[in-house]
Amino acid sequence: MKNKTIILASRPKGVPANENFKFEEREIPALQDGEVLLKSLYVSVDPYMRGRMSDAKSYVAPYEVGEPITGGIVAEVVDSRNSKLPKGAVVLGNLPWQQYTVHSGSGLSQIQPDVAPLSYHLGILGMPGLTAYFGLLHIGEPKPGETVVVSGAAGAVGTVVGQIAKIKGCRVVGVAGSDDKVEYLKQELGFDEAINYKTAGDMKEAMAKACPDGVDVYFDNVGGEISDAVYLSLNKFARIAICGQIAYYNSTTLPTGMRVEPILLKMSALMKGFIVSDYASEFGTAARELAAWVKEGKLQYQETITEGFDNIPQAFFGLFSGENTGKQLVKVADREA
């Protein structure tokens, strides 16, 4: 049985390219007691992976050159010597970009296949959806009538943040990087307002205009000058969830800029960083609530699904040229069971 794997051949400079990846065929070792053989079904490609391909210090460890890329994958157990994960079970895990993986079973979460399409567990019911859910609801604690701002609004996380905020009765303002995305947020997802930061001119003015009653909750994927503009519109007792700081991912020194602390003091505001795994014990409850919202049509969800294991690098590259709408995935194989 052939097993293709994709390894990091070299660290990209700027936009990643084919030369940075190498396909190899590797043997599948025999299963030991307690192990399972996983067949990859859906592979997630995500912008954060670009950061891990550099060796710059970041909040996630870098990938190693010569080792397989890893990421979120939905896989099927096709052979098992582990009674907790029988053949036919479907799991979600952080797995190597391989067709097959021998795994101890530890750290995998089993998926109920009847809840939603399997691919949804890499998006709205997976890390991006859960990230939106916990950051917005546990840190932001939005109340009806409040104004919620989300940066990176058209991304896999931001689109869910805005829609949950609408479910909670908030006025929602998104910040994104193209007119098409602004249109999508307002027309398709029901955002009350959206700002194209590339053409808005003075972001502070644009933010103040988009938020006439100030900002109560800010869900930040971005950092930098977009955040500065939001800070200046914060209301008393505002809450800020720091989910990503993409503005600084490529900086090799500690970033400098406007100090947020005096504003937090003046406004008795709260700011909290988080990573979705902080809330691991509550994933089940959250995924069920997200699934219910999807079923009721309250949460719209878009996927772009590329077919074929060999096309994983291309699907990844497409993230940086904006080829995908919504969550980008690669379908690698059909389910056997």
Whether 187 and 121 have beta carbons less than 8 Å apart is answered as no
Shortest Å distance, C-beta 258 to its own copies: 5
Place of tokens 């003046």: 266
Our CB check for its own copies shows the closer of 146 and 220 to be 220
Place of tokens 């293709």: 4
Our CB check for its own copies shows the closer of 20 and 151 to be 151
Our CB check for its own copies shows the closer of 83 and 256 to be 256
Output the six-digit token pair for 68. Answer: 């397989």
Our CB check for its own copies shows the closer of 84 and 236 to be 236
Q: Which residues bind its own copies (CB under 8 A)?
A: 59, 220, 223, 227, 237, 242-245, 248, 254-275, 278
Shortest Å distance, C-beta 59 to its own copies: 4
Type of residue found at 122: L
Whether 45 and 304 have beta carbons less than 8 Å apart is answered as no
Q: Element (H or E) spanning 181, and its range?
A: helix 179-183
Q: 318 by DSSP, 3-state: which?
A: helix
Type of residue found at 28: I
Rounded CA-CA distance 12/87 in Å is 38
Query: CA–CA distance from 33 to each of 1, 39, 76, 89, 204 (Å)?
Result: 21, 18, 18, 17, 60
Our CB check for its own copies shows the closer of 51 and 96 to be 51
253-257 contacts at long range (C-beta below 8 A, 24 or more positions apart): 255/223, 257/224, 257/225, 257/228
Rounded CA-CA distance 160/169 in Å is 14
Shortest Å distance, C-beta 128 to its own copies: 16
Shortest Å distance, C-beta 278 to its own copies: 5
Shortest Å distance, C-beta 102 to its own copies: 31
Look at the alpha carbons of 112, 93, 160, 288 in this order and tell me if their dihedral is positive or negative: positive
Crossing angle of helices 127-134 and 158-167, in 10° steps, is 50
Shortest Å distance, C-beta 252 to its own copies: 12
Our CB check for its own copies shows the closer of 200 and 276 to be 276
Torsion of CA 115, 116, 118, 121, to 10 degrees: -90
Our CB check for its own copies shows the closer of 31 and 56 to be 56
Our CB check for its own copies shows the closer of 106 and 253 to be 253
Shortest Å distance, C-beta 237 to its own copies: 8
Shortest Å distance, C-beta 139 to its own copies: 9
